Amino acid sequence: MIMTFYKYQGTGNDFIIADNRLQLINKNDTKRIAELCDRRFGIGADGFILLENDDTSDFKMVYYNADGKESSMCGNGGRCITAFAKFLGIVVDEAEFLATDGLHKAKTKGGIIHLQMQDVSEIQTFENHQFLDTGSPHHVEMASDLENFEVKSEGAQIRYGQPYNKAGTNVNFVEQILEDRFAVRTYERGVEDETLSCGTGVTAVALAMHNSGITKNEEVTLETLGGSLKITFNKIEKGYTNIWLIGPAEQVFKGKIEW
C-alpha cells in the first residue's frame, strides 16, 4: 500500500506521523517502521507516530522509537500529534488524547502547544543523579562544560549500565544558566543517540532541579540543542502535579511512500 505521511518537528525532535483511523497500517511491522525512521535509507526521524480513534477521547497516540519498537510516552511527540490533530480538523484549540501512560490534555495558543503531563509522585535521589518517570524513565545529572560534553558515549554507558541494564533509561545532562533556566542535552534510548530535544526529558530535568533545591521556581525554561521549552508545575506533598510541557510544533512536509 501507499502510505501518506507527515513530517513534524518540535524543537528539533522530529517524527513521522500518519493518520491510522482506518487501521490500514500494519502496526506489527516494526522492521518497516525502523526503515522509515532511518536517516539515510528512509524518511528519517527520531520516532514514528500513528493517530488512531479512541472511544474515550479525541484520538489515540501510538508511538514507536526509531528502532521500530513501540515505546513509552514521548512529550514532544505528544505536542506534534496535537498539532496534527488540529491540522486534520479533529480538534480546534483544546484536545484530550490517550497515550501509553494515560490521558493527556493539550491546548494550542498562538502556534504554541501546551501539553499536560502525568503527575509525578516519586523522585529517587542519589549522590550524583536523580531518577524519575515522566511518562518515560529519566536519569538526570549535572554536568560542567555541557557544550563540549560527550553525550553519546557517556549517555550510552549510563543507559546500559547498572541499575538500568536491559530495560535502559533516557539520560539527561544538565547545566544551570540562571535560577530558572537550564541547558539540557539528552541521550534517548530507542534512538540510541543524542536527540536535539526530549519533551519527557526536559520535564524530568525541571522537576529534578526543583526537587533538589537548585531552583525554587515552578516555571522553568530548558534550553535544548533544538530550541527552548518551558515547564510549569505545582509542588504538592507527594510530588508534583499540574505539569505542563510548552513549546512549538511544526509540520515540515507531507509525502507518500510505499509501506
Candidate list 198, 207, 222, 246, residue with the active-site label: 198
User: Minimal CA–CA distance to 115: which of 129, 105, 126?
Assistant: 105
C-alpha 142/C-alpha 213 separation (Å) is 13
Annotation says 80 is catalytic: no
Provide the angle, in degrees to the nearest 10, between the axes of the packed helices 199-211 and 75-88. Answer: 130
Specify which residues 47 forms β-bridges with.
15, 65
d(CA 133, CA 216): 21
Grid look-up 513501540 returns 70
Q: Is-contact 153 192, C-beta < 8 A? A: no
Catalytic choice (25, 61, 73, 74): 74
Sequence-ordered alpha helix ranges (H) in 106-225: 151-160, 199-211
Strands 94-99 and 59-65: parallel
Asked whether the beta carbons of 118 and 101 are under 8 A apart, the reply is yes
All residues at 6 or more sequence positions from 258 whose CB lies less than 8 Å from its CB, including other chains: 1, 2, 3
Active site residues: 74, 198
